[in-house]
Amino acid sequence: MKIVHFSWEFPPKIVGGLGTVVMELSSIQVRMGNEVVVFTLNSENELTTTDNYRGVEVHRPMIPDFSS
Average pLDDT over residues 60-67: 87
pLDDT of residue 40: 96
Q: With respect to residue 65, please indicate whether it lies within any of the assigned structural domains.
A: no
Note the pLDDT tens digit of each residue in 5-61.
999 999 998 988 999 999 999 999 999 999 999 999 998 889 999 999 999 999 999
Query: Is residue 68, in this structure, part of any structural domain at all?
Result: no
Q: Residue 53: which domain range? A: 2-59
pTM (predicted TM-score): 0.88
Residue 67 counted as domain residue = no
Q: Establish if 45 belongs to a structural domain.
A: yes
Considering the domain boundaries, does residue 22 fall inside one?
A: yes
Q: Which residues contact 31 (CB under 8 A, 6 or more apart)?
A: 55
The alpha carbons of the chain give a radius of gyration, in whole angstroms, of 12
Is 17 among the domain residues? Answer: yes
Q: Is the pLDDT of residue 63 over 90?
A: no
Q: How many domains does the chain have?
A: 1
Structural domain contains residue 24: yes
